[in-house]
Structure 1
Amino acid sequence: MVAEQKHLLTEQEYLTLERAALDKSEFYNGERIPIAGASINHNRVKENLNGKIISHLEFADCQSFSSDMRVHFPGTSLYAYPDIVIVCGEPQLLPNEFDNLTNPNAIIEVLSDGTEDYDRGRKFHRYRAIPSLTEYILLDSQTVSVEIWRRNEQGQWTLTHESADPTTVFTIGTIGLSVTLSTVYTRTTGLLPDASAPTTAP
């Protein structure tokens, strides 16, 4: 018995479908990857942090976009919707396109039960192909914790900060914004610090 081959989409086919769709999907290597609805804690963490970012950047050269900004990564076929993306300077879009950002400087993802492995693994690996990206931050929607990865001048990615202490202050280095972890988790429910997460210097 011959296995039925999955139909793979071209990037243009994906973009045509995506622009008409009611629900968002990411794209990689010919496949659409549906984005599941986020929990209330996931959305609370994202909005708490993005509110701080927006206020901090009111008169700055950088700006943030939340969830609906699709990002395309040169050198790969990946199209994704980061929870928060920060761009400094003029946003660059694909030629002749209006909705595909190519020059993020920082990406922030809020981990969920169904996305944690993807966000930590394959997705982060693909993110690293973006020449402009220098900072990748992970927050958890199931426990109180933060991880910050940064690219050094040699192009190597290093985990520079990891903490589950609600009193800890972490810094988004791209924009020089320092936030207390407890502030990011304000009004979430049922979350405890991740006891397995060590604390490293910011």
Structure 2
Amino acid sequence: MSEPAQELWPLSLEAYLAWEAKSPLRHELVGGFPRAMAGASRRHNLLVAALVAALFPLARARGCRVHAETFKLKVGPDTLYYPDLMVVYTPPGENPYYEEDACLVVEVLSPSTESQDRWEKMRAYLGLPGLQAYLLLNPEQKGLEGYFREEEGFAYRRYAEGRVLLPCLEGPLDLEDLYQALA
């Protein structure tokens, strides 16, 4: 399917959703403009799968939903992203094609999207009222870095090993276990 006619840009949310539903490629919507999604490496995909396996039991115990890679998160009136993983605690919204308020968002870094994940998406995600943590994982180097909500805003933390207590899920993420998926 071709790109929408340039004279129709920026796209409204409704126009984007209709167009994206028919497109064979996934596109994020950034400020009303569609941006094609890059493919993922094997290591990236394995790390996302390991995250889902690790977080799903915690999410289920708390009554949360877990979405990975193919479900959209609305972060503004004309911006939707496909996070690598998100956890949502609030009841589902009316639109069945996106969530609106994740409590945890995780992006797995790749060379083609790292700057977007670290700057553009980070600013958008930290603006979500219910977000408790935004985490970044590197499939090439064990560890986790992230922004964790505190009373005055968000605090940046970095972990090279061990267990990381995840807010929203109120449970640990074991980095050793997580990165075993890449061994």
TM range (shorter): 0.7 to 0.9
Aligned to 1:192: none
Mapping for residues 1-202 of structure 1, pairs under 5 Å: 7-74=9-76, 76-93=77-94, 97-154=95-152, 156-159=153-156, 161-165=157-161, 168-188=162-182
Q: TM-score, normalised by structure 2?
A: 0.88
> 2:182 is matched by which residue type in structure 1?
T
Distance 1:179 1:129, change over 3 A: closer
Larger gyration radius, structure 1 or structure 2: 1
Question: Any unmatched runs of 5+ in structure 2?
Answer: 1-5
Query: Which structure has the highest helix share of the two?
Result: 2
Contact persistence 1:61–1:89 (CA under 8 A): no
Deviations 1:77-117 (A, max 9, x none): 21011111111141224xxx221211211111111111111
Unpaired stretches in structure 1, ≥5 consecutive residues: 190-202
Task: Check the 8 A contact 2:90/2:101 in 1, yes or no.
Answer: no
Alpha-carbon distance, 1:22 to partner: 1.6
For residues 145-186 of structure 1, give each alpha carbon's deviation from its aligned partner in whole angstroms, at most 9, with x where no partner exists: 2112112233x1211x31234xx2112121122122121111
Residue aligned with 2:102, SS: coil
TM-score by length of 1: 0.80
Task: Work out the CA distance in 2 between the residues paired with 1:29 and 1:10.
Answer: 9
- Structure 2 residue identity aligned to 1:90: P
Deviation of 1:7 (Å): 4.3
Take 1:116 and 1:61, find their aligned partners in 2: how far apart are those partners? 31
Aligned-partner SS, 1:8: coil
Q: Provide the aligned C-alpha RMSD in A.
A: 2.0
Which is richer in strand?
Answer: 2
Contact in 1 for aligned 2:32/2:79 (Cα 8 Å): no
CA contact (8 A) 1:91 1:103 kept: no
Residues 100-109 or 54-63, more deviating: 54-63
Identity of counterpart residues, as a percentage? 22
CA contact (8 A) 1:148 1:162 kept: yes
Runs of 4+ in 1 over 6 A off after TM superposition: none
Report SS of the residue matched to 1:103: coil
